[in-house]
Amino acid sequence: MSEFTRIIFVGSVMGIICRMWLLRTDYRQYPTYPHGKIIHLALGVIASGLGSVLVATLLDKNYTAVTFLTLAAQQFRDVRNMERQMLTNVDELELVPRGLTYIEGIAMAFEGRNYLVIATAFFTGIATHFWHWYGGGLVGIVCIVIAVKYMAGRTIAFIGNVREGQVRFEGPNLFVDDILIYNTGLKDTQQKILKHGVGLILEPKNANATVTFSNLGQRQAILHDVATILGVYRDSGEPSLVPLSKRDLDSGRLAIFLLPLDRDVEKAKAIVRRAPVLENAYRRPLKLTGKVKPDHHL
Amino acid sequence: MSQTALTNVILALVTTKKDSVGGSCPIFYCTDDDDLQKTSLYLEKILDAMAHEVKPGVMMMVKH
């Protein structure tokens, strides 16, 4: 086997493994199976090919080949557009929508992962050149571990505490603990809410979390995650039954009112803790240097 | 599926108190509280709107 063939082969294989590892379908059932997966696997193969061929061309002193990467970047930006458009269209028919912030986050992840695959294939290729195939394999595994470990985002448990809140009515007004959710006048609806509703209170750990929890996209993502896993007690044409989140303006606490089909408070709490903190919603005002920063416990 | 609908508009009022409501939107007069609940429930399903109790005896149908 010639050296270039070895570099391209080992690099591509590690790149494809990286893409497959990052493509595991979890509870969100996204990417969809089977065609959504095929699309991303095919793009992953192209990305890993690019990364490893780049090493071979550079060793051949064919430096203009780098311009190919710009073409690749354009292609992968299209992946982001494709994901965004599809998810936005599908979201219109969800009972509890994902929300645009969540969609943007997913689209960004799909673009970013292709670059990770290129990087994995590239570094594996270089290592194969210097330390034969086993050195390449080792570097490839390290790259995959880094990609999987460090590209996993944070979860709600990292920035806030979740506890149960009492769902109750004061006249027609629905409250979770002391936070007003909405007003519904029908006795029938009120009984359904008391029977099926779950109230949770999200307490931010610091000022970073307070600002993040105020983001409507972040809040919608939490509601969507719970509805995906525990189901939702609502249907079209039932405007009075709607999971919603409201803030307590004084303390920054977030009241989450849920209507799960499986009414289990412990499960709901665990799901909210595991919900992703969206990249586009996360803010860190405490990172400011100097005196111009909010109180730690805003 | 794109849908065009009037949102955040009072679509109808349902009341047992004739004196406390008025204006240009449809008003449904009810005889008692049971009738009020029943009429509001029907309207909620028909209009896909939410019934809000503004004060005892006055319900407001709003599409959100």
67-106 in A: which are within 8 Å (CB) of B? Answer: 92-93
Domain match, A141 and A161 both: no
Candidate from B1, B2, B50 with C-beta closest to A240: B50
Candidate from A185, A189, A237 with C-beta closest to B48: A237
pLDDT at residue B23, rounded to an integer: 87
Candidate from A93, A185, A188 with C-beta closest to B53: A185
Number of domains chain A contains: 2
Question: Smallest CA–CA separation between B48 and chain A, in Å?
Answer: 5
pLDDT at residue A27, rounded to an integer: 67
Q: Which of A97, A118, A150 is the last residue of a domain?
A: A150
pLDDT at residue A153, rounded to an integer: 80
Q: How many CA atoms lie within 13 A of B40 on its CB side?
A: 31
**Parallel/antiparallel/unpaired status of strands A244-247 and A198-204:** unpaired
Domain match, A126 and A198 both: no
pLDDT at residue B3, rounded to an integer: 62
Say whether B40 and A187 touch across the interface (CB within 8 A).
Answer: no
pLDDT at residue A83, rounded to an integer: 87
Q: How far apart are CA A243 and CA A253, in angstroms?
A: 17
Domain match, A165 and A105 both: no
Domain match, A17 and A129 both: yes
Q: Which of A100, A121, A150 is the last residue of a domain?
A: A150
Q: How far apart are CA A40 and CA B22, in angstroms?
A: 59
Enter the tokens of residue A130. Answer: 């210097």
Candidate from B48, B52, B63 with C-beta closest to A185: B52
Domain match, A146 and A173 both: no
Say whether A239 and B37 touch across the interface (CB within 8 A).
Answer: no
CA A266 to chain centre: 23
Say whether A184 and B51 touch across the interface (CB within 8 A).
Answer: yes
Question: Smallest CA–CA separation between B46 and chain A, in Å?
Answer: 8
Q: How far apart are CA A31 and CA A22, in angstroms?
A: 11
Domain match, A92 and A195 both: no
Q: Is B23 left (phi over 0), alpha (psi -120 to 50) or beta?
A: left
Expressed as residue numbers, the domain containing A65 is: 3-150
Q: Find, in chain A, the residue whose alpha carbon is nearest to that of B63.
A: A239
Domain match, A144 and A167 both: no
Say whether B50 and A187 touch across the interface (CB within 8 A).
Answer: no
Question: Smallest CA–CA separation between B32 and chain A, in Å?
Answer: 14
Does any domain span residue A187? yes
Q: Find, in chain A, the residue whose alpha carbon is nearest to that of B59.
A: A185
pLDDT at residue A298, rounded to an integer: 66
Beta bridge partners of A162: A202
Contact between A14 and A144 under an 8 Å Cβ cutoff? The reply is: yes
Does any domain span residue A256? yes
Does any domain span residue A126? yes
Does any domain span residue A32? yes
pLDDT at residue B32, rounded to an integer: 93
Please report residues of B whose CB lies closer than 8 A to that of A186. Answer: 37, 40-41, 44, 51
Does any domain span residue A292? no
Q: How far apart are CA A20 and CA A22, in angstroms?
A: 5
Beta bridge partners of A180: A175
Q: How far apart are CA B21 and CA A126, in angstroms?
A: 79
Enter the tokens of residue A214. Answer: 């105020």
Domain match, A106 and A133 both: yes
pLDDT at residue A14, rounded to an integer: 92
Q: Which residue has the tokens 């591509």?
A: A12
Q: Which of A133, A150, A167 is the last residue of a domain?
A: A150
CA A33 to chain centre: 18
Q: Find, in chain A, the residue whose alpha carbon is nearest to that of B55.
A: A172
What does the domain layout of chain B look like in residue ranges? 7-12+33-64
Domain match, A134 and A162 both: no
Please report residues of B whose CB lies closer than 8 A to that of A172. Answer: 52-53
pLDDT at residue A184, rounded to an integer: 92
Q: Which regions of chain B are under pLDDT 50?
A: 1
Enter the tokens of residue A254. Answer: 């977030």
pLDDT at residue B2, rounded to an integer: 56
For residue A276, what is the DSSP state?
B
Please report residues of A whose CB lies closer than 8 A to that of B40. Answer: 185-186
Domain match, A52 and A176 both: no
Domain match, A19 and A89 both: yes
Please report residues of A whose CB lies closer than 8 A to that of B59. Answer: 185
Q: Which residues contact A21 (CB under 8 A, 6 or more apart)?
A: A144, A147, A148
Beta bridge partners of A202: A162, A254
Residue pLDDT tens, chain A, 298 long: 788 899 999 999 999 999 988 887 666 667 777 888 888 899 999 999 999 999 989 888 888 888 888 888 888 888 889 889 999 999 999 999 999 999 999 888 888 888 999 999 999 999 999 988 899 999 999 999 998 887 878 899 999 999 999 999 999 999 999 999 999 999 999 999 999 999 999 999 988 899 999 999 999 999 999 999 999 999 888 888 999 999 999 888 999 999 999 899 999 999 999 999 998 888 888 888 777 777 766 6
